[in-house]
């Protein structure tokens, strides 16, 4: 269990447990993995103990490209205290090619550069000595303006 955060920020950190540990360990290695049901083949995110479709507990992880599109987004101007230094920041719903929709941050982009349908690619944000978060950044023409 990761419990320490050596930065002065009180930023909350994920606490990997048996089901989620493969996701966080892959992120530490800059690999993006998504849980998959080995019985019905559905991709699953967030990680769970059983498949939400067929209730199988025969689940594994597969590495995916991390390419996606923005389904929707919001810009946070008034964040909780732990994230005050990062505002404004963008929180988005990103659709992956495997059908997974996940909540994530869009990094290195101004709010005016974001649009629904924009192409994004996974990247990695080190938030402590032990935790790396998968985040996303714009790709294509929108990303090349800055």
Q: Per CB under 5 A, which of residues 91..130 are in contact with Zn ion?
A: none
Question: Residue 51, interface with Zn ion (CB under 5 A)?
Answer: yes
Q: By CB under 5 A, which span of 35-43, 67-75, 87-95, 133-141 interacts with Zn ion?
A: 35-43
CA distances from 67 to 56, 129, 133 (A): 27, 26, 16
**Quick one: 142 exposed, middle or buried, by C-beta within 10 A (0-12, 13-18, 19+)?**
middle
Question: Residue 37, interface with Zn ion (CB under 5 A)?
Answer: yes
CA distances from 72 to 54, 102, 136 (A): 28, 11, 13
Question: Residue 54, interface with Zn ion (CB under 5 A)?
Answer: yes
Question: Residue 53, interface with Zn ion (CB under 5 A)?
Answer: yes
Interface with Zn ion (CB under 5 A): 37, 39-40, 51, 53-54, 56
């Amino acid at each position: 269990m990761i419990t320490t955060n050596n930065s002065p920020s009180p930023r909350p950190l994920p606490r990997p447990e048996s089901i989620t540990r493969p996701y966080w360990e892959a992120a530490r290695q800059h690999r993006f993995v998504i849980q998959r049901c080995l019985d019905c083949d559905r991709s699953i995110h967030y990680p769970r103990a059983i498949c939400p479709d067929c209730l199988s507990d025969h689940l594994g992880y597969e590495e995916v490209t991390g390419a996606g599109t923005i389904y929707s987004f919001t810009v946070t101007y008034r964040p909780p205290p732990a994230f005050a230094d990062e505002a404004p920041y963008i929180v988005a719903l990103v659709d992956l090619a495997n059908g997974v929709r996940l909540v994530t941050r869009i990094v290195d982009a101004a709010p005016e550069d974001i649009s629904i349908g924009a192409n994004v690619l996974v990247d990695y944000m080190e938030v402590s000595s032990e935790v790396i978060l998968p985040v996303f950044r714009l790709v294509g023409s929108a990303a090349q303006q800055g």
